[in-house]
Structure 1
Amino acid sequence: MRLRRRGEAAPDRDVADPARGIELRGVGHRYGDRVVLADVEVTLTEARVGVIGANGSGKSTFARLLNGLVVPTDGQVLVDGLDTRTQVRAVRRRVGFVFQDPDAQIVHPTVAEDVAYGLENQGVPAQERADRVAEVLAHHGLAGHADHPAHLLSGGQKQLLAIAGVLVMRPARIVFDEPTTLLDLVNARRVGELIAGLEQQVVVVTHQLDLLDGFDRVLVVDRGRVVADAAPGPAVTAYRRLMADR
């Protein structure tokens, strides 16, 4: 082991390597005695990654592992080389998370206040904070609702607000956990188009299989294991075959 010389700066353990992507190394997770995930070994570097599986398959736990909302019982999750167990703050700056139910994510009374919340926690100066909030609200059609009570928005508007609250933080990667499940067809399509247009790497857990059109890669999770890993067409075919046998 190399010893530091006197006066030499300590190494920066938060130095990230974006080329590494998201790595799950021998990952398993249990809730008590119940095994939810086991022996997951994948590296995610593609721009668009989908995750599909039956209810209770473990896919939502998989999603929460990617930014440290859940830490593995076994194995290791790395984001750009940073460990979600020991470097969670740095990880969450890089990976945003959008929940299925936007009410789980909206915490402030008005639309603008809610979007600004994460920036306040990061100590972003007031003027920059105001500019970034205004920009993201305008981009997603919510500028006219800035002072509107967040809880009075429609379901589609709430999901856009939840997404805006993540985008304003400018993460390099975003995980979506069933972002269209609670939406009607019009708003589901709108959210799908929004996701398709993002510059960030996205990982999308979904039951809406047509949302995966144009994705680079799709994982099929079944009974806690990744049982298929392919382009959307072959992965969806494998998933349909799996469900037909139940």
Structure 2
Amino acid sequence: MDGIRIEGADYAVQDVPILTGIDLHLTERRIGILGRNGSGKSTLLRLIAGLIAPTAGHVTVDGADPTDRRAALRALGILFQNPDHQIIFPTVEEELAFGLRQMGHPAREAEAQVRAVLTAEGRTAWAGRLVHTLSHGQKQYLCLLAILMMGPRTILLDEPFAALDLPSRIALRRRLAALPQRLITITHDPEAVMECDRVLWLEGGRIQDDGPPARLLPAFVARMEHLAGDAL
């Protein structure tokens, strides 16, 4: 596949630059986008996902424009930090079926696929369960299942571990590590991208550095330690 290409991309809001001069070709299986709060990393995620369009430059995902939502369904999935911002429907079964319906699957076929997935996951009792009765970690897991049912080639992860307790974090890490999809993790935590093939360090809306974690992360941590003196 062609991967994700970002060519000369800028993004500004009311003439205030958020991202400037982003040029990337992302093909690796595990990619991290690392930066402080306000560095532009969430905006970069939204640009890749097609949720916003660049004010200059171009973004393509496997050769397609990600702002074309129907084309993007099979190309990209997004797991947000807060599952309550992602979940739409009151029951687990409805939530899991929604993406399939968007892709054109008939209702009965979508329902059958949902039940098959829940059975395979050992969660058959979840079918009619109200989403609000799930824990935060279970909701995050539900969102991941909904993404996987649509079979995207790339999954964008927006601070996926930030609000999870340790057992839930370990379980999610294991599940993500086993996935065949390309994973792009957006985070401020160096530990979350230690196992990536490639890490991008975003600072002030620009690419500060780009390379393997073994080289990049020590420099990032040293910079954060230097900035810590003025943080509070």
TM-score by length of 1: 0.87
Amino acid at match of 2:90: P
Q: What pairs up with 1:1-246 in 2 under 5 angstroms?
A: 18=1, 20-85=2-67, 87-246=68-227
User: Which structure 2 segments of 5+ residues have no match?
Assistant: 228-232
Tell me, yes or no, if the aligned pair for 1:192 and 1:211 is still in contact at 8 Å: no
Give the SS at the match of 1:119.
helix
Secondary structure of 1:218's aligned partner: strand
- 3-state SS in 2 of match to 1:82: coil
- Aligned CA distance change for structure 1 residues 103 and 140 (closer, same or farther; 3 Å): farther
- Structure with bigger helix share is 2
Q: Distance in 2 between matches of 1:212 and 1:141?
A: 29
Query: Equivalents in 1 of 2:121, 2:212: separation in Å?
Result: 30
Q: For residues 36 and 138 of structure 1, do their structure 2 counterparts lie closer, same or farther at Cα, with a shift above 3 Å needed?
A: farther
**Residues 174, 201 of structure 1: 8 Å contact kept:** yes
CA deviations on 1:158-180 (whole Å, 9 max, x unpaired) are 00011111111111111011111
- Equivalent residues of 1:67, 1:92 under 8 A apart: no
Query: Contact 2:9/2:19 (CA < 8 Å) preserved in 1?
Result: yes
Q: C-alpha separation between the residues in 2 aligned to 1:74 and 1:47? A: 27
CA-to-aligned-CA distance 1:36-95 (integer Å, 9 cap, x gap): 11101011000100111000100011111112012111111011111234x342123311
- Retained in 1: the 8 A contact 2:76–2:154? yes
Paired with 1:56 and 1:79, the residues of 2 have a C-alpha distance of: 25
Q: Which moved more, 1:88-97 or 1:22-31?
A: 88-97
Give 1 or 2 for the bigger CA radius of gyration.
Answer: 1
Hey, what's the Cα distance between the residues in 2 that align with 1:88 and 1:74?
Answer: 20
Q: Count the aligned residue pairs.
A: 227
Q: Assess, with a 3 A threshold, how the Cα gap between structure 1 residues 55 and 133 changes in structure 2: closer, same or farther.
A: same
- Contact 1:174–1:200 at 8 Å: present in 2 too? yes
Structure 1 unaligned residues grouped into runs of 5+: 1-17
3-state secondary structure, aligned to 2:88: coil
Q: TM-score, normalised by structure 2?
A: 0.92
Cα 1:165–1:245 change in 2 (3 A) is same
